[in-house]
Structure formats: C-alpha cells, structure tokens
C-alpha cells in the first residue's frame, strides 16, 4: 500500500513539474490551458497541447499568458521583441535579454511566434529556388475496345514556389487521344505549358511576367508563344479565398499548319511555304479565383481575354474551372473543365475546343 502511494505521489510530482515548464493560458471564463504557444496573428492564438493537439483560441478572450520559452512578439509599429512573455495590468510583458522588460498593449500585438515558427518564417523569406515548392500532378486515363480502339491520357503538372514577396508558377498539361481505327490515329493532341513570375509591389498590387506556350492539333496549331507583362490586383486575399484581377500587354507568335510540307521539286531542293504565321501585340485581361470550400475541397477558376490591338476583330479567350477534393494528405480527386476559343481559326477548324478531364491528383511539397 505504501509503495503504491509513493508511486502515485511520484507521478503527481512529475505531472506538476512538467506543467511548471509549460506555457499557461487563462481565459475570461476562468479556464486554464497548458501547452506550448505556437503562434498568434493578434486575432487568434494557437496553443499546442499534449492531448488535444493544436487548439485555436480567440486572442480577445485571453486574460493571462505565461510562457516559459522565448516568443517573438511583433507590434503594429513593425518592431519585434524576443523573450518569455507574461501579462501584467492588462499589458503583455516581454522579458528581453538586452533591454529588460518591454510592455506591449494587447491591441498592438500583430504577430506572436515561437522559435520554430520564427525560423520557418525567416526561411520562407529566402527559401532558395530548390526549396519551398508545392503543387500537384493530375493523371487521368481511359481505354475503350470493341467497336472502337481508343486510348485517352490526360496529364497535368503544377508547381508553385511562393516567398513573402514573390512567387514562381510553372505548369504543364497534355491531353492525347488515339483511335487506332481512325485515320489519322491521333484524334486530339493538346499541349500547354508556361512559367510566370509575380512580384509584390504593395499588399494589394503586384507585377507579373509570363511565357505561355500551346500546341493544339485540333486547330492545326503547331505552336503559339505568348510573352506577357503587366499588373495584378488582389481584390480578395484571405486564408480561404484569393481573387485577382490582371491587365497587361503581350506579344504573340503563332504558326498554323494546313498539312505536310510540299515535296521538293528542284535540285538543290527548295520547299514551298505552308500554313500561316501570325505575329502581333495583344492585351492580356483576366481574373483568377481560388476558394477553399470546406476542409477537403479547393475550387479554382480563371478567365483570360486576349484582344489583338492591331486587328480589333481578332481575339482569343481561355476559361478554366477545376476542383480538387482531398482523399488523403497526398492523394485527391480532380475535375477540370476548359474552353479554348479563337475568333479566327484556320479554315476547316472550329472556334471552340471544350475539354473535360477527371482523375487522380498527387500533391507534393518540397
């Protein structure tokens, strides 16, 4: 019996000792929470607990904070003080190593980070081009046999490298449909790729430069290269929704073919020209939307309009809408709808190409 009491007392001692080395939060309703302060944006505070994981608290509901380890506290005047934090007389007191105790009114607190969060923030400022990438790979495949022998492969790769002040986006997508009973066997072959660089000018405005490339066998398009520069505006920018407006100027170089190259008939051989090559300047007008619908689904939508400035009757328009629903941390289900419109396609081809793909999404972070 005595041995059992000693064991209980020992457990209680270590429990109290561990609590003494943890951060303490007291709420207005009298509740006391123990854990590790992770971060705060001045509106909410994240506390990591042993048994409940990360708990998000309303910052205004907190009456007392006591941290054992150093926290990085950033104020509204963009100053950061570092040290253990306590509350006294309605103010937050930071015990700095060099300047002694610094008092900060709670209303002036913009950010609070622990050492790990601060290190991650500093790293995000200059992550290096080989680190900090995130994105996904979309894959869809269909097969038919019997009255038709058709294979369809849809592949898309998207990668984003964001930092505090800029962002690099790379994308590549391909749709290939083969029908072995048809002549020619290639029914559809669409390849798109590009790279874009965004640089923040202020919290609402950003500049961008991009290069986009497309090949579309359905419209006899060998290659379209579009080089764009312009400005963007964050009309909405929150944790769940980003809505941007874009405007700029681009240079377009595109080549359409209308069949194979003519057979040479002279010695030395000379080739007759074929197809159509267009070179022109155009406007770039567009909008982009990203919205997190709940915890598992992300909606994306964008619309771009490219009017030819030298020929007002000619223009292009691209529309895309997609969803990705998470199945696990790295696996999801994606659906993508797209419409590519050209006002003046080559003779014998249609203005519109409407594309729908569905399949698996493999996300990655590096």
Kindly report, residue by residue over 26-46, the tens digit of the pLDDT: 998 989 899 999 999 888 999
Classify residue 126: in a domain, yes or no. Answer: no
Is the domain of 336 the same as that of 235? Answer: yes
Give the span between the Cα atoms of 307 and 198, in whole angstroms.
22
Q: For the residues 273-302, what does the mean pLDDT come to? A: 90
**Model confidence pLDDT, tens digit, residues 131-146:** 778 899 999 887 766 6
Q: For the residues 188-211, what does the mean pLDDT come to? A: 94
Last residue of a domain, one of 87, 120, 153: 120
**pLDDT at position 181, please?**
66
Domain limits at 44? 2-120
Q: Quick check: bond before 338 cis, omega within 30? A: no
Give the span between the Cα atoms of 45 and 58, in whole angstroms.
6
From first CA to last CA, the distance across the chain in angstroms is 56
Tokens of 161: 């490298």
230: number of CA atoms within 13 Å, CB side?
23
Higher pLDDT, 177 or 211: 211
Question: In CATH, what number is assigned to the domain containing residue 343?
Answer: 2.40.160.40
DSSP string, 47-100: EEETTTEEEEEEGGGEEEEE-SS-EEEEETTS-EEEE-EEEETTEEEEEETTTE
- Name the strand (E) or helix (H) holding 103: strand 100-104
Q: For the residues 351-364, what does the mean pLDDT come to? A: 88
Is the domain of 171 the same as that of 116? Answer: no
Percent pLDDT > 70 in the chain is 85
Is the domain of 138 the same as that of 116? Answer: no
Is the domain of 152 the same as that of 60? Answer: no
**Model confidence pLDDT, tens digit, residues 64-90:** 999 988 999 999 888 899 999 998 777
Question: Which residues on adjacent β-strands are paired with residue 326?
Answer: 332
Query: Does 12 score more than 50 pLDDT?
Result: no
Query: How many domains is the chain built from?
Result: 2
Highest mean pLDDT among 151-165, 222-236, 348-362: 222-236
Last residue of a domain, one of 120, 148, 176: 120
Is the domain of 240 the same as that of 98? Answer: no
């Amino acid at each position: 019996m005595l041995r059992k009491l000693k064991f209980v007392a020992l457990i209680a001692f270590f429990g109290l000792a561990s609590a003494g080395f943890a951060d303490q939060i007291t709420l207005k309703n009298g509740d006391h929470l123990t854990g590790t302060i992770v971060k705060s944006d001045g509106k909410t505070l994240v506390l990591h607990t042993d048994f409940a994981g990360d708990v998000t608290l309303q910052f205004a509901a907190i009456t007392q904070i006591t941290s054992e380890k150093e926290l990085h506290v950033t104020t509204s005047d963009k100053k950061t003080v570092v040290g253990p934090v306590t509350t006294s007389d309605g103010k937050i007191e930071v015990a700095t190593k060099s300047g002694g105790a610094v008092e900060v009114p709670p209303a002036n607190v913009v950010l609070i980070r622990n050492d790990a969060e601060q290190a991650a923030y500093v790293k995000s400022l200059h992550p290096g081009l080989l680190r900090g990438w995130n994105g996904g790979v979309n894959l869809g495949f269909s097969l038919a046999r019997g009255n038709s022998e058709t294979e369809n492969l849809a592949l898309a790769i998207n990668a984003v490298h964001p930092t505090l002040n800029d962002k690099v986006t790379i994308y590549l997508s391909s749709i290939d449909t083969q029908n072995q009973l048809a002549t020619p066997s290639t029914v559809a072959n669409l390849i798109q790729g590009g790279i874009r660089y965004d640089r923040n000018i202020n919290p609402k405005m950003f500049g961008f430069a991009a290069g986009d490339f497309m090949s579309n066998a359905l419209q006899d398009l060998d290659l379209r290269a579009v080089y764009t520069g312009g400005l963007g505006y964050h009309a909405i920018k929150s944790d769940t929704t980003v809505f941007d407006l874009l405007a700029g100027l681009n240079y377009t170089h595109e080549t359409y073919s209308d069949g194979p190259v003519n057979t040479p008939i002279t010695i030395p051989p000379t080739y007759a020209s074929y197809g159509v090559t267009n070179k022109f300047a155009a406007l770039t007008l567009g909008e982009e939307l990203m919205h997190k619908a709940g915890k598992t689904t992300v909606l994306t939508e964008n619309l771009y309009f490219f009017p030819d400035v030298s020929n007002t009757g000619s223009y292009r328009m691209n529309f895309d809408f997609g969803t990705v629903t998470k199945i696990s941390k790295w696996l999801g289900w994606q659906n993508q709808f797209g419409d590519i419109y050209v006002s003046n396609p080559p003779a014998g081809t249609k203005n519109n190409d409407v594309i729908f793909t569905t399949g698996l999404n493999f996300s990655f972070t590096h």
